[in-house]
Amino acid sequence: MNRKIKISFLFISLLCAVQMSAQSDVPRAEYPRPQFQREDWRNLNGLWTFTFDFGKTGHDRKLYERNGFDSKILVPFCPESRLSGVEHTDHISAMWYHRSISVPSEWAGRKILLHFGAVDYFSAIYVDGKLVDQHWGGTSSFETDITSCVKPGATHNLVVYVEDNLRQGLQAGGKQSYNYYSEGCSYTRTTGIWQTVWMEAVHPAGLKRASIVPELDQSRFVVYPEFYGLQRGEKLKVDVRDGSRTVASVTVPAASPTVAILPVKQVKTWSPESPFLYNISLEVLDEQGKTIDRVASYAGMRKVHVEGNRLYLNNQPYYLRLVLDQGFYPTGVWTAPTDGDLKRDIELSMQAGFNGARLHQKVFEERFHYWADQLGYLTWGESSSWGLDIEKPEAARNFISEWESIVLRDRNHPSIIAWTPFNETDRRHVHYQHTRQHDRFLRDLYEICHALDYRPVNDASGYFHVRTDLWTVHNYEQNPDKLKDVLSLKEGKVWQNFPDREATYSGQPYFVDEYGGIKWIAGNKFAENSWGYGEGPRSIDEFIARLEGLTNAILNHEHIAGYCYTQLTDVEQEQNGIYNYDRSPKFDMSKIKAILGKNPASDIYKNAETGKKK
């Protein structure tokens, strides 16, 4: 380990001592999957050993058989981050991780599952030198059944091999830079493990997952379970609780397929104004009625749908005041230093007047969605689609499987109200073969979203639309009068980014889901290439006036159903956030909230009582 890494690791050890939970000696010690909790689990974060494999020769050298490597890294932080103790910011083509895992003796007779929150991009999992699984996808969670490879009461060697190559165009990379330095809209890369690694014990006939669908109009929850295995005579018992009071309960056969329907009297809805959550327990019972698997969950009773050119929440038109959130952190890159940092980002956004966020070019971890559910914060779930060369069939194949996993993982969160598979896809080329592949790709993902879930789909934020439930445009005009004019209806037609090269607008809810991006550097530049949209204001007063003018230009148009301001925080050299990169405020936030907390004056929204069933 060189001197720079040693000094960095000493610093990070001291920093983590402050940040870690008093009850735990590992970072990010909280349960990583709050909507599907079991009691028997072990967090595997903490110090691992590792080695880089720039030549990808590790398999030839049989590194998968090793019981340790020469360098140390703090998981779940990526090696590019300061928190990892490594801070290697050049491209990392491949690397190997190692740690030992001890399986509790009381886990005998159950399935032993190894979970990874996310590993960017390809990973191969070895236990005691044996390959047990492989995974493709830098932002999707996955589990590996290691039951046959481990012995309860024993300790085993876990080795994880990862590969990451943004430049091939075969994988989604989001805002990770293709060059050595961060520039433009591209920032520090993330390689390898960047979310919690953990292990749990599950009965062989336990629950694999459960889709919990709220049906507000019928005042009921509908649960669609999946099981690891089926045994005759077993049942699934589902209870819905308001606090400690049971408001619905049903027991159904543990079969495939099966469904549990739970009517709820005097239903309480979930909304930003009243983010009420029901506690839900799911128990698998054996033939004698004994509980063999128990999962704790929760759900919100809320409805989201489209009527004409409006988005409705709980059967009332709802105006979206979103902010662009890219989810980068100065010390953790894609990984929040603590669970509290995830919560704080939402609180900062709400303090600025926003009622939600477009989660931009990154798949956020489940703990973020948990806090959004708890706090009443609306989000649009998005992928990290940038970097894909969709003319390559393998790129499309990689993306489809990763996106499917993302939707399946997150679809129970009431705070997510729309899916956005892509951002600013490129259809500007005139070659027919390219546009045909592009259009098929977006159409396929639109259909896949609807096959997996009921939420509205925004096929590609900004442009180019092919098939979409929500119509979104991006406009960074910095003159409020010009923006108001551009967004005005012209002969009854809305403004489009590329009207001659995308689908015809057909009356969907219309959102300006990127605007603003006003440059304001409070203090020092992050780098010499720091930037923001347009010519920066000369004073804070001028910034406030421009922000209010641009926002009013959108609010004054009745055909617009909401907006998304760029952006919540500065991200490295892109210094156009409402907050600095370290989350400190740039402005008097009461003035910011007075602007961004306004709904349009239109009667459409005046009498909407969101959060109450109608």
What digits encode the pLDDT tens for the residues 345-356?
Answer: 999 999 999 999
User: What are 308-328's pLDDT values in tens digits?
Assistant: 999 999 999 999 999 999 999
Split at pLDDT 50, 70, 90, the class of 19 is very low
pLDDT at 23 over 50: no
Tell me, what's the pLDDT at 34? 96
Task: State the chain's mean pLDDT as an integer.
Answer: 93
Architecture of domain 207-299: Sandwich (2.60)
The pLDDT of residue 614 is above 50? no
pLDDT of residue 355: 98
* The residue to which tokens 């069933």 are assigned: 613
Q: Is the pLDDT of residue 230 over 90?
A: yes
SS3 67: coil
The two tokens of residue 97 are 């991780």
Ordered by start, the domain boundaries in the chain are: 3-202, 207-299, 319-601
**pLDDT(117) > 90:** yes
Residue pLDDT, tens place only, 570-613: 999 999 999 999 999 999 999 999 999 999 988 888 755 444 43
pLDDT category of residue 432 using cuts at 50, 70 and 90: low
The superfamily (CATH) of domain 3-202 is Galactose-binding domain-like (2.60.120.260)
pLDDT at 612: 42
pLDDT confidence tier of residue 500, bands split at 50, 70 and 90: confident
Annotate 365-419 with three-state secondary structure: CHHHHHHHHHHCCEEEEECCCCCCCCCCHHHHHHHHHHHHHHHHHHCCCCCEEEE
Q: What is the mean pLDDT of residues 381-390?
A: 93
Band (pLDDT 50/70/90 cuts) for residue 426 is confident
Does the pLDDT at position 7 exceed 50? Answer: no
pLDDT in tens, 57-76: 999 999 999 999 999 999 99
Task: Check pLDDT > 90 for residue 201.
Answer: yes
Q: Grade residue 22 by pLDDT with cuts at 50, 70 and 90.
A: very low
Residues 283, 290: contact at Cβ < 8 Å? no
Q: What is the pLDDT of residue 77?
A: 98
The yes-or-no verdict on residue 21 having pLDDT over 60 is no
Whole-number percent of the chain with pLDDT over 70 = 93
Tell me: the pLDDT tens digits for 510-551? 999 999 999 999 988 999 999 999 999 999 999 999 999 999
The Cα 76–Cα 607 span in angstroms is 46
pLDDT at 13 over 50: no
Instruction: Give the pLDDT score at 463.
Output: 85
Across the range 486-512, mean pLDDT stands at 95
Q: Quick check: 295 pLDDT over 80?
A: yes
Report the distance separating Cα 270 and Cα 302, nearest Å: 5
CATH, domain range 319-601: 3.20.20.80
Torsion sign, CA atoms 473, 546, 359, 180: positive
pLDDT band at residue 16 using 50, 70 and 90 as cut-offs: very low
Contacts of 338 by beta carbon, 8 Å cutoff, 6+ apart: 19, 27, 28
Name the packing angle between helices 589-596 and 540-555 (round to 10°).
20
Q: Number of C-alpha atoms within 13 angstroms, CB side, residue 545? A: 9
Check pLDDT > 80 for residue 430: no
What is the pLDDT, as a whole number, of residue 587? 96
Lowest-confidence region among 2-11, 368-377, 565-574: 2-11
CA 478 from chain centre, in angstroms, equals 30
What's the pLDDT score for residue 423? 96
Q: How far apart are CA 584 and CA 538, in angstroms?
A: 21
Alpha carbon distance 432, 440 (integer Å): 12
The SS3 assignment for 526 reads coil
Given this model, what pLDDT does residue 2 score? 46
Q: Would you call the peptide bond into 121 cis, given omega within 30 degrees of 0 as the criterion?
A: yes
